[in-house]
Amino acid sequence: MALSVNLCIGFFLSGGAVPMAGQRNDQVRQGQQELQGDMLTKEQIVRAAVEVLDAEGVNGLNIRRLGAHLGSAASAMYYHVKSKDKLVVLAADHAFGEIPLPDTATVGWREAAASLARGAYAMVVRHYWLIPAMSTHLIYGPNKAHFDEQSLTIYESAGFTQAEADQAAATVLMFVIGAAQGQAAQAAWQAHLRRNGADADKELQGITAEMLAIAQTLPRLRVRVDSAAITPPGDPFEFGLQTLLAGLESRIHSPTSSAP
């Protein structure tokens, strides 16, 4: 009789059928995972998301995979971050927080602008998934806002009007993203091959051979391919950055420098 009473009490407290021994073990394990997830912070989850994105790209990220990466239940992830899209935005803003912000009080505007651009370029190359994420997500957050604020501060300190500073900051950022596109695209392609179990090095060798064969049929490309092994190319990013900043500098006191 006592056993029957205990079973009934167990039924009402659980709100349903009394679980069997195996079910109880599963529930205990799930509860432990959720408790472990509850002890995670949003910052820990975002950092882990960046690690997964760096390894697998945007297509390789999902909430369940992230939970497995952290050893926690997916429900614990959803407690902190409601969707994959929101997680990508948080991860992108975290990445912008890695960019060192130069002190305009101690360096000239052009040096500060170059330093900020180099930091942004290094960040985008490091986190290749950011470029495709920008085409499908609106990237925002406190770190991105501080980056934008510092960029505008630099160009306004140079003597640009507010409208000109807006254009200068946007132009340099577009250059940075475009310059990083090549390396980011290759990293994304390699991540795609890894997800599909392909040999990235072998695939790259085959494609490179095809590219060289095409280049040999065109005179200017052929000359550059033949001389590349002898004369290493310069840094195209630094060349483009300095050219762009020199052009901006020439507009500061130019009569035609007003924004259209």
What is the residue-averaged pLDDT of the chain?
A: 82
On whether both 164 and 51 belong to a single domain, the answer is no
Based on the fold, state whether residues 40 and 109 are members of the same structural domain.
no
Range of the domain at 43: 21-82
The structural domain count of the chain equals 2
160 neighbors 220 (Cβ within 8 angstroms): no
Please indicate, yes or no, if residue 224 is contained in any of the structural domains: no
Q: Say what the pLDDT of residue 35 is.
A: 43
Q: What are the tokens at 52?
A: 């997964």
pLDDT at 17 over 50: no
CATH number at residue 240: 1.10.357.10
- Final residue belonging to a domain, choices 34, 52, 82: 82
Q: Report the C-alpha gap between 54 and 133 in whole angstroms.
A: 12
Pair 117, 159 in one domain: yes
Same domain, 159 and 51: no
3-state secondary structure the chain: CHHHHHHHHHHHHHCCCCCCHHHHHHHHHHHHHHHHHHCCCHHHHHHHHHHHHHHHCHHHCCHHHHHHHHCCCHHHHHHHCCCHHHHHHHHHHHHHCCCCCCCCCCCCHHHHHHHHHHHHHHHHHHCCCHHHHHCCCCCCCHHHHHHHHHHHHHHHHCCCCHHHHHHHHHHHHHHHHHHHHHHHHHHHHHHHHHHCCCCHHHHHHHHHHHHHHHHCCCHHHHHHHHHHCCCCCCCHHHHHHHHHHHHHHHHCCCCCCCCC
Range with lowest mean pLDDT among 12-16, 49-53, 99-103, 207-211: 12-16
Q: Please give the average per-residue pLDDT across 174-193, as a whole number.
A: 84
Contact 145, 183 (CB under 8 A): no
Inform me whether the pLDDT recorded for 241 exceeds 50.
yes
| pLDDT score recorded for residue 201 | 76
49 is a domain residue = yes
Residue 193 maps to a domain: yes
- For residue 67, tell me if it sits in a domain: yes
Report the CATH number at residue 37.
1.10.10.60
pTM of the model: 0.75
**Mean pLDDT confidence for 220-246:** 82
Comparison of pLDDT for 189 and 163, the residue scoring more: 163
Q: In the prediction, which pLDDT does 255 show?
A: 57
Task: Please report the pLDDT score of residue 199 as a whole number.
Answer: 75
Q: Are residues 136 and 247 in the same domain?
A: yes
235 or 85, which is more confident:
85
Same domain? 141 vs 32: no
Q: In this predicted model, what pLDDT tens digit does every residue of 248-260 receive, in sequence order?
A: 999 987 756 554 4
Whether residue 246 is contained in a domain is answered as yes
